[in-house]
Structure 1
């Protein structure tokens, strides 16, 4: 079984998530703006539960990575098991101080490269709230195409939020042809 490697971009060092990174997840998940289009602000206990669930799916080259710019924690990037064999869901979440600097896109591009070239995935998709235009712009910038609108599971968003969501995706052959 392939373990998660340490990955690098021009500015980000991506280290496989471990139990020792809980303080970073707590910090990130406590920010209402970071969590605006997710399940809402999390308590430290909820962050610990999320960490346990995330560590449970790591393996075969996929999982979650903690991103550091220089020595400072910047955010998380992930490839979660998809709904079908050979696919994964791309995710990213960053501290506000790192927004609008191209780091989300940089880390997400590395997730695509790793997923298609190293892991051999056939398809990578990402989902977000229909209102989350910044995340959709990142998805489009890295080459994912809008494939559908849908109504999300209420557990995915904070209570009372609009449940309209979008999915963007790219297949391996299409990504390789452009790379």
Structure 2
């Protein structure tokens, strides 16, 4: 991985910038109907759309501002591509509010990778990138994604409905938004700080 820019590493993951050569990896990920179930109803993203629209958008997002965008997730032990994480501004160029997202291969489900990557991004955002609020959204019926949001520290905020040109099964129940502010994260990370106890509570 010497020819790519590594963003961060966790116990089991390497998150790196995408490159123009990654189109086949993205196309393979989006070809799995189970992966796309709560996005398109299972319809794959055409490879041409990956090359001409999806990947160029990903590459253009880096450094606007620095440290935010989409990150290819690879397993540290063998470099296998597991999917991607999104951590990008809700409003272009403004790092104060960012959207958290993730899309992983089915083979990576249930192993805690999504939670591990999401937590690492939240920590990086609040400690280094000037993020004040993290938001995430998914279909209300997507229980797996909702669990990841909760394990990453986000909490349910609202249910909302959108007009989709091609509704998919479950869309009638709407979308849910989860969020976490820097202050909430700080209290959860260091409860003693919220009580005002000195030296982390050691009196």
Instruction: Settle same-fold status: TM greater than 0.5.
Output: yes
Provide Cα deviations, 1:39-82, integer angstroms capped at 9, x if missing partner. Answer: 34201012221111122222221011111112111110111211
Range with greater deviation from structure 2 (124-133 or 48-57): 48-57
**What aligned pairs does 1:156-167 form with structure 2 within 5 A after superposition?**
159-161=166-168, 162=171, 164-167=174-177
- Secondary structure of the equivalent of 1:37? helix
For 1:96 and 1:76, the matched residues in 2 are separated by 12
TM-score by length of structure 2 reads 0.80
Partner-residue secondary structure (3-state), 2:34: coil
The answer for unaligned runs of 5 or more in structure 2 is 190-203
* Residues 153 and 10 (structure 1), Cα distance of their counterparts in 2 relative to 1, 3 Å cut: farther
How many equivalent residue pairs? 173
State the TM-score, normalized to the length of structure 1. Answer: 0.90
Deviation at 1:177? 2.1
Match of 1:87 in 2: 97
Higher strand share: 1
Task: Determine which of 55, 58, 68 is the counterpart of 1:62.
Answer: 68
Work out the CA distance in 1 between the residues paired with 2:157 and 2:181. 12
Relative contact order, higher structure (CA 8 A, sep 6+): 1
Q: CA RMSD in A?
A: 1.6
Pick the aligned partner of 2:118 from 108, 121, 125. 108
Structure whose CA Rg is larger: 2
Measured in 2, the distance between the counterparts of 1:58 and 1:130 equals: 30
